[in-house]
Structure 1
Amino acid sequence: MAIYHSHHAPVPPAQAHAFRQGIHDQVIGVVMFAASAALWIFPMVTHDGAKDAQVNEAVVGAFLMFVVGLRLYRGSSWRSDVVVGLAGLWMIASPYVLGLQKTDVDNASRVLDIAVGCVLVTTSLLSLVIVRADRRAGGTIRRH
């Protein structure tokens, strides 16, 4: 009878921390940056829909590009994840809030806002989960 031997050695803690930090700071950060850029660029390209919705998208997109750009450059902390998550929640709610003010919201803007908001909320939650897992494993992703 053969005995099964795993050829996979356990991953050293430092290497596991570096992997989690790379996922946290780079991969998730690039997805956040792409979503923020789409939010900022889309109103300038289309010129369709209500001006209130376009101004909202442009302002929130520019703000997020700054926050996420700092995240990519300096690394992130739970604070930047919370800011991105709150901005994502605002983008999900904004078509309805602006609609309550009797502001005409274009369907394309509504779809973009909700889609980008969902991406931002999901990535910020994933980032927070990775930070928590790294802290439990003894790593130190937190900065600033």
Structure 2
Amino acid sequence: MAIYHPHHTAVPPAQAHAFRQGIHDQLLGVVMFIASAALWIFPMATHDGAKDAQVNEAIIGAFLMFVVGLRLYRGSSWRSDAIIGLAGLWMIASPFVLGLQKTAVDNGSRVLDVAVGTVLVATSLISLLIVRSDRRAEAAEAAPRST
């Protein structure tokens, strides 16, 4: 059992901000980039599935690789997280929407699209929560100084 002292409980605000920023920009960004790359590369490399689904995956995957690449290079904001989340929602819905339009959709593509879409939505939501907590921490830190 550990003994906690009052001076061990507080993490300096600069370190907490750097930690949250690292998780937000780097860790989640890499997961998003891998999911986007899988969405873009896997169907083209295997030539499995319907061509309509492959075109959708290629366009969305290339777009997401660009957005996530900018996110990794310049840092991100809530806008990039929202764009990635919306693209993830589209990837979850696209096999079913394309299937309603009598286009060819393969079950393998459906599984890939739903899995990648779920990862993108989850990581974008986590990223948005980290941004929110970071802003709250900055506001709480600034509030005592201003009084």
Give the TM-score normalised by the residue count of structure 2.
0.89
Letter paired with 1:56: N
What CA distance in whole angstroms lies between the structure 2 residues aligned with 1:21 and 1:62? Answer: 25
What CA distance in whole angstroms lies between the structure 2 residues aligned with 1:75 and 1:59? Answer: 23
**Which residue matches 1:92?**
92
What CA distance in whole angstroms lies between the structure 1 residues aligned with 2:120 and 2:93? Answer: 13
Instruction: Give, in angstroms, the shift of residue 12 of structure 1.
Output: 0.2
**Which residue matches 2:119?**
119
What CA distance in whole angstroms lies between the structure 2 residues aligned with 1:67 and 1:104? Answer: 28
Letter paired with 1:28: L
Runs of 4+ displaced beyond 2 Å = 4-9
What CA distance in whole angstroms lies between the structure 2 residues aligned with 1:86 and 1:9? Answer: 38
Instruction: Give, in angstroms, the shift of residue 5 of structure 1.
Output: 4.1
Aligned to 2:8, what secondary structure does the other structure show?
A: coil
- Residues 5 and 36 from structure 1, CA distance in 2 versus in 1: closer, same or farther, beyond 3 angstroms? closer
Instruction: Give, in angstroms, the shift of residue 104 of structure 1.
Output: 1.9
**Which residue matches 2:50?**
50
What CA distance in whole angstroms lies between the structure 2 residues aligned with 1:76 and 1:89? Answer: 19
- Is the aligned partner of 1:68 residue 2:68? yes
What CA distance in whole angstroms lies between the structure 2 residues aligned with 1:5 and 1:108? Answer: 52
The answer for unaligned runs of 5 or more in structure 2 is 140-147
Instruction: Output one character per residue of 1:12-52: Cα deviation in whole Å (capped at 9) or x when no partner.
Output: 00000000000000000000000000000011111121111
Count of residues paired in the alignment: 136
RMSD of Structure 2 on Structure 1 (CA) = 1.2
Identity, in percent, stands at 82
1:5-20 alignment runs, 5 A limit: 5-6=4-5, 8-20=8-20
Letter paired with 2:53: A
The answer for unaligned runs of 5 or more in structure 1 is 140-144
**Which residue matches 2:31?**
31
Letter paired with 1:64: L
Letter paired with 1:61: G
What CA distance in whole angstroms lies between the structure 2 residues aligned with 1:49 and 1:33? Answer: 22
